[in-house]
Amino acid sequence: MFHVKQFEKNLKESKQDIEKYIKILLDWQKHVNLISKNTIPEIQKRHVLDSAQLWKYIPDSSKTLTDVGSGSGFPGIVLGILNKTAGFPLKITLIESDSKKAIFLNEINRQLKLNLTVLTERVEKVENLKSDIVTARAFSELNQIFTLCQKIVSRETIWILLKGKGVQEEIKNCHLNCKIEQFPNEYSEGVVLKITGVKYA
């Protein structure tokens, strides 16, 4: 893991952008269902910090990151904010097939000047994109994620995924050769998976 020493500093320096992001999200929430209403009182912990922790698992050598099924921007927008604070070391792409959510993501990108690319497309349809890092949160189970993302990855891609309590069954049923490391999620009952060496048949 990298970035650990700088993580708290980056998060603190990102506070203004994060607060603006939350404000815009809650304004849009009145018209577009972006997050569960039950999680709004805990948005900082349940969504922002839950997403931000992934930054610590990104190697310094990484150049490109793709967030799959970005939805309301967790973790993609939060990582984009941290990326801006760090001086834009990563080229970040958000993939979201829902047009309303994609419009929201583009609006956040514009207002916060995050220099992201937002693709309104299903990930399995995306062409000409290769990712050093793939992130996802509440997107799909492992085997399906691997299948859907096959076109945007290489053998060297690192997958950093936020997964819930049922992840052990997903790991047990994983049909591809790879190395799966599990780390405690600091903000929920789930885990952070760091997956390397995914080998397709």
CATH number for the domain harbouring residue 11: 3.40.50.150
Could you tell me if residue 181 is left (phi over 0), alpha (psi between -120 and 50 degrees) or otherwise beta?
beta
In degrees, rounded to 5, the angle at the alpha carbon of residue 127 between the alpha carbons of residues 126 and 130 is 95
pLDDT for res 82: 96
Q: Residue 56 is encoded by which pair of tokens?
A: 């610590």
CA distances (Å), origin 18, targets 22, 31, 90, 125, 185: 6, 21, 18, 31, 20
Share of the chain above pLDDT 90, in %: 89
Segment 189-197 mean pLDDT: 94
Spatial distance between the Cα atoms of 27 and 103, rounded to a whole number of angstroms:
14
User: Tell me: the pLDDT tens digits for 71-106?
Assistant: 999 999 999 999 999 999 999 999 999 999 999 999
Q: How confident is the model at residue 126 (pLDDT cuts 50, 70, 90)?
A: very high
State which residues form the domain around 60.
4-199
Mean pLDDT of 110-132: 96
At 84, list the tokens: 């801006």
Work out the pLDDT band at 189, boundaries 50, 70, 90.
Answer: confident
Q: Which alpha helices (H) appear in 15-158, and where do they start and end?
A: 15-29, 43, 50-52, 76-85, 99-112, 142-148
Does 15 have pLDDT greater than 60?
yes
Residue 180, SS3 per DSSP: strand
**Cβ within 8 Å of residue 12, ≥6 positions away:** none
Res. 156: pLDDT tops 80: yes
In this prediction the pTM is: 0.95
Tokens of 51: 């997403």
Domain count, the chain: 1
Residues in the chain: 201
Residue 5 pLDDT class (50, 70, 90 cuts): low
Question: What is the pLDDT, as a whole number, of residue 3?
Answer: 54
Phi-psi region of 41 (alpha: psi -120 to 50; beta: other; left: phi over 0): alpha
